[in-house]
Amino acid sequence: MSKPILLLNCGSSSIKYQVIDAETEEVAATGLIQRIGEEVGTIDHTHGEKHSAEREFPDHRVALQVLVRTFDEYGPSLSDVVAVGHRCVHGGERFRETTVIDDEVIAALRELIPLAPLHNPPGIAGIEAARAALPDVPHVAVFDTAFFSTLPPAAYTYAIDAAVAKQYGIRKYGFHGTSHAYVSAKVAEIVGKPASELNIIVAHLGNGASISAIKGGVAVDTSMGLTPLAGLVMGTRSGDVDPGLHAYLAKQSGMSLDEVDSFLNKKSGLIGLCGVNDFRDLLPQVDAGEPAAVLTLDVYVHRLVSYIGSYLAILGRVDVLAFTAGVGENSDPVRARTLKALEPLGFILDEQANLVRSREPRAISTPDSPVTVLVVPTNEELAMARETAAAIGA
């Protein structure tokens, strides 16, 4: 029996979607609506063939109506869909697991907006529009933060006034949880051992990047924090900086705190250091010996190595390090430099295996490496489909 699930990932001006059959795990359709709120937007819908059109999408409600009409015209039929799964970036302390959405859940999501002012409002707009467009199926919220609800207090507590932290919900939450959960479960499958017997580090290196320490199947630390700004160096985000930087820069430059926040989120990381945010543009510059590009890669790898070393210390023993997401899956030079630095700690790279390009999971460590190093392509949509199906008992 087929159980198609519509998955929606709503950004402020875009909606990514897929239909995945929870039974067969086949992808029946994929699509992307872009430039919501602008004069001319686009929809690209693939079901067998790709169909593209230009439309005006004044808001998410209209975009979802067009999405439903597009499915009516080009298929597959949405009348078979058993549930809609929504990617929700921030679940705060309230949502520790995937949750079937009702009015009360939406009200609670609204209360969480201050924690994720960029991400949660479009997510809520998408949920409301989708519930209006598809009122007869259950809608389910899948949270980026949920996988990290198991972090121990020592890992999630910031050393600030405890009452202030409690009042404002200030703690480490962690993000990209769907990917970390999917990849760590896949690692267990690949090495043929139960997750409960494995200590795993997952490095999700995409345009956004985060790393997690997973002990016996349970997340015990991660690099993103209260917001997705903390941790590793990212495409446009700084990752960790001295918290005093905000006040210092605001005072010295006259920037407002909002401007400093935007500076650290949008004009920092790779783009801040060398003007490009994509490793495909950066690496040729490194090969050409461009000093800013060389320093950028050095900073990126230094941060990554220091997190892996720290998680090795926290876990005590690491069985598997898994690289995933755009950079982790595709950039062999980043993996090679990282593992070279980690060689004394038991991460031994197989240089030939590292050069293999594939969309399949693969080992890139030598057979006698104390730590197995894998490249595991992530599949957040499939993980969301599984979560959504489980939440509705399908």
- What are the residue numbers of the active site? 144
Q: Decide: is 331 part of the binding site for ligand AMP (CB under 6 A).
A: yes
Question: Closer CB to ligand AMP, residue 325 or residue 364?
Answer: 325
Print burial letters for 188-224: b (CB count within 10 Å at least 16), e (below 16): bebbeeebeebbbbbbbbbbbbbbbbbbebebbbbbb
Report in angstroms how near the CB of residue 207 gets to ligand AMP at its nearest: 4
Report in angstroms how near the CB of residue 235 gets to ligand AMP at its nearest: 5
Contacts of 212 (CB under 8 A, 6+ apart): 147, 148, 174, 180, 184, 201, 202, 204, 219, 221, 222, 223, 311
Question: Which range of residues in 29-37, 130-138, 275-283, 305-313 is near ligand AMP by CB under 6 A?
Answer: 275-283
Report in angstroms how near the CB of residue 328 gets to ligand AMP at its nearest: 8
- Candidates 69, 267, 280, 317; binder of ligand AMP (CB under 6 A) is 280
Question: Which range of residues in 62-70, 127-135, 169-177, 276-284 is near ligand AMP by CB under 6 A?
Answer: 276-284
Q: Which residue is nearest to ligand AMP (CB)?
A: 326
- Candidates 42, 149, 150, 330; binder of ligand AMP (CB under 6 A) is 330
Question: Closer CB to ligand AMP, residue 81 or residue 203?
Answer: 203
Print burial letters for 12-50: b (CB count within 10 Å at least 16), e (below 16): ebbbbbbbbbbeeeebbbbbbbbbbeeeebebebbbeee
Question: Closer CB to ligand AMP, residue 384 or residue 392?
Answer: 384
Show the site string, 232-271: x = touches ligand AMP by CB under 6 A, - = not. ---x------------------------------------
81 and 22 Cβ atoms separated by less than 8 Å: no
Q: Give the closest residue to 108 by CA, choosing from 118, 96, 163.
A: 96
| Cα–Cα distance list, 177 to 3, 90, 212 (Å) | 24, 10, 9
Please give the single-letter amino acid code of residue 9: N
Report in angstroms how near the CB of residue 308 gets to ligand AMP at its nearest: 19
Residues that bind ligand AMP (rule: CB under 6 A) add up to a total of 11
Show the site string, 54-83: x = touches ligand AMP by CB under 6 A, - = not. ------------------------------
Question: Closer CB to ligand AMP, residue 92 or residue 235?
Answer: 235
Contacts of 354 (CB under 8 A, 6+ apart): 332, 335, 336, 339, 364
Displacement of CA 229 from its chain's centroid (Å): 12
Report in angstroms how near the CB of residue 161 gets to ligand AMP at its nearest: 36
Report in angstroms how near the CB of residue 228 gets to ligand AMP at its nearest: 12
Question: Which range of residues in 151-159, 170-178, 217-225, 273-281 is near ligand AMP by CB under 6 A?
Answer: 273-281
Tokens of 250: 């605001």
- Candidates 92, 228, 231, 326; binder of ligand AMP (CB under 6 A) is 326
User: Which of left, alpha, beta for 217 (phi over 0: left; psi -120 to 50: alpha)?
Assistant: left
- Candidates 207, 236, 262, 265; binder of ligand AMP (CB under 6 A) is 207
Q: Decide: is 206 part of the binding site for ligand AMP (CB under 6 A).
A: yes
Show the site string, 284-323: x = touches ligand AMP by CB under 6 A, - = not. ----------------------------------------
Q: Decide: is 272 part of the binding site for ligand AMP (CB under 6 A).
A: no
- Candidates 318, 327, 382, 385; binder of ligand AMP (CB under 6 A) is 327
Question: Which range of residues in 2-10, 158-166, 272-280, 379-387 is near ligand AMP by CB under 6 A?
Answer: 272-280
The footprint of ligand AMP (CB under 6 A) covers 206-207, 235, 278-280, 325-327, 330-331
